[in-house]
Each structure stands twice: as structure tokens, then as C-alpha cells.
């Protein structure tokens, strides 16, 4: 009698220590509250243990791709910050093997323009210097009108003679400069001519093609008509020899002509 209560107590104590059953899909809740902050977890369905699917993949390749992409854009941003200097579009437009020629021509034209500008400024300065002499000459002209004999004897001003041809020369030179073409313009014109020739050849080819197709269509139609005529039969189902003979006679007449 004394042993029964002790046995029953040992069974009860064993049953208290037995762990609870855990089924597949159930998440073991771990309550780790660090300094009173609850950590959030991404919700995943019970039957899923990873992102993606078995058919499509677990999403590792996509993540790697996104990471590489982000790293690449980050490097681009850094390089852009290091070298923010813009490119000179005017110089980079030229082809690489002709770039030095175009740049040399550009420099030459620039020097010519500067020389012309200096010449024009010198001519303007000369005109300004001549203005006061013209103002002094105005009262002399009045005196010459009163005394025509003295005005006839007076010689013409040589400065005016010098300025007139110089202005004409300047105009002629400027006209020549405008008519003068650069090598780039010449190459552009040559390219346009080549394009025009190609376009004409293309049009001619399309025209010939259309004519050829029309001729082939007419030939096929004619052949079909002759075939249908020769295939005609009499009421008894025999070939119509009269039509065939008529066709042969027409053919002979055409060859004779």
C-alpha cells in the first residue's frame, strides 16, 4: 500500500516533462524581445520555406542580378562626380581619320577672319582720320564755287582715289571668301551627288521590275487563254481539231509577218 502513491507520483512527474508535439508547417515562436522592441518578420505561407518557387527558382539569380546592377550604377555615379567636365561636341563630330585636317582648316579660317577684322578696323581708323580734313575742305569748296577758274585748276584728292579701290578690293575678297567652299562642304556635296545617283538607280530598277512583272503577267494570261482554247472538246468529248487548226494558222501568219 505504501508503494502505490510513490509510483503514481513518478508517472505524473514524467508526464509533466514530456514536450509538446510539433507539426510540419508550424513556426516555433521565439519571443526574443531585446530592449522592448518587437522584430518584424516577412510573412511567408506555411508551405513555403523560401522566395520564389521550385519551377521558377528560389530567386537567387534575380537577387544577384539586382545587386550587380546596383553596384554598376553606383560606380557610374562615382565616376560622374569625379569627372564632370563636358565633352566638346564640335570637335568630336568629325571622323577620327580626318579630324586633324578639319581642325587645321578651322584654325586657318579663324586666322583669316581675324586678319580681315584687323584690316577692316584699320580702314575705319583711316576714314575717321580723314573726316576732319573733309570738314576743313567744306569752306574751300564754297570759295571754289565763287571762283570756278581756281576750282578747275585744283587737283583731285589722292586719298579718295586710294580708298575707293581698297573698298572695292575688300568687297571682291569678301565675295570670293563667301563663294569659297571648305573641304567639309565639298565632301558633303559629293555625298549628296552619290545619294542622288543611288536614288535614280533605285527608281530605274523599280520601274524595270514593274515593267518586267507586267510583261510576265501578260504572257501568262495569254498562255492560259491558248491553253483553255486548245483544251475545249466537242459534245462527244473529243478534242476540237477545228480550233487547234485555226490557232496553228494564226501562228504561221504571225511568223510570216
3-state class (DSSP) for residue 240? coil
| CA count, 13 A, side-chain hemisphere, 125 | 6
Query: Total structural domains in the chain?
Result: 2
Report which of residues 68 and 147 the model is more confident about: 68
- 208 and 113 belong to one structural domain: no
- 210 and 124 belong to one structural domain: no
Q: Quick one: what percent of the chain has pLDDT higher than 70?
A: 60
Contact (CB, 8 A) for 199 and 220 = no
Partnered with residue 233 across adjacent β-strands are 239
Per-residue pLDDT tens over the stretch 183-210: 888 888 899 999 999 999 999 999 999 9
Q: Is residue 130 part of a domain?
A: yes
- 171 and 199 belong to one structural domain: no
pTM for this entry: 0.30
Q: What is the mean pLDDT of the chain?
A: 74
- 168 and 92 belong to one structural domain: yes
pLDDT at 4 over 50: no
Contact (CB, 8 A) for 163 and 126 = yes
Q: Residue 167 is part of which domain span?
A: 62-152+163-180
Q: Is residue 21 part of a domain?
A: no
Task: Tell me the pLDDT band of 65, cut-offs 50, 70 and 90.
Answer: confident
3-state class (DSSP) for residue 204? helix
Q: Is residue 4 part of a domain?
A: no
- 85 and 145 belong to one structural domain: yes
Q: Is residue 8 part of a domain?
A: no
Q: Is residue 237 part of a domain?
A: yes
Amino acid at each position: 500500500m505504501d508503494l502505490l502513491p510513490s509510483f503514481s507520483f513518478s508517472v505524473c512527474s514524467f508526464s509533466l516533462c514530456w514536450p509538446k508535439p510539433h507539426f510540419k508547417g508550424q513556426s516555433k515562436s521565439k519571443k526574443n524581445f531585446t530592449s522592448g522592441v518587437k522584430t518584424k518578420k516577412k510573412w511567408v505561407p506555411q508551405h513555403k520555406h523560401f522566395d520564389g518557387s521550385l519551377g521558377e527558382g528560389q530567386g537567387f539569380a534575380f537577387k544577384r542580378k539586382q545587386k550587380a546592377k546596383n553596384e554598376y550604377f553606383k560606380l557610374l555615379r562615382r565616376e560622374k562626380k569625379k569627372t564632370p567636365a563636358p565633352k566638346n561636341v564640335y570637335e568630336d563630330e568629325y571622323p577620327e581619320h580626318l579630324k586633324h585636317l578639319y581642325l587645321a582648316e578651322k584654325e586657318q579660317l579663324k586666322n583669316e577672319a581675324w586678319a580681315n577684322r584687323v584690316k577692316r578696323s584699320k580702314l575705319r581708323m583711316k576714314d575717321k582720320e580723314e573726316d576732319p580734313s573733309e570738314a576743313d575742305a567744306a569752306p574751300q569748296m564754297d570759295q571754289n564755287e565763287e571762283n570756278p577758274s581756281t576750282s578747275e585748276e585744283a587737283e583731285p584728292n589722292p586719298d579718295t582715289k586710294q580708298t575707293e579701290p581698297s573698298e572695292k578690293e575688300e568687297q571682291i575678297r569678301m565675295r570670293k571668301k563667301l563663294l569659297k567652299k571648305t573641304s567639309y562642304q565639298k565632301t558633303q556635296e559629293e555625298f549628296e551627288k552619290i545619294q542622288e545617283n543611288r536614288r535614280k538607280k533605285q527608281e530605274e530598277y523599280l520601274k524595270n521590275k514593274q515593267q518586267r512583272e507586267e510583261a510576265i503577267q501578260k504572257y501568262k494570261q495569254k498562255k492560259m487563254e491558248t491553253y483553255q482554247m486548245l483544251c475545249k472538246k466537242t459534245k462527244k468529248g473529243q478534242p476540237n481539231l477545228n480550233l487547234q487548226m485555226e490557232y496553228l494558222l494564226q501562228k504561221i501568219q504571225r511568223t510570216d509577218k
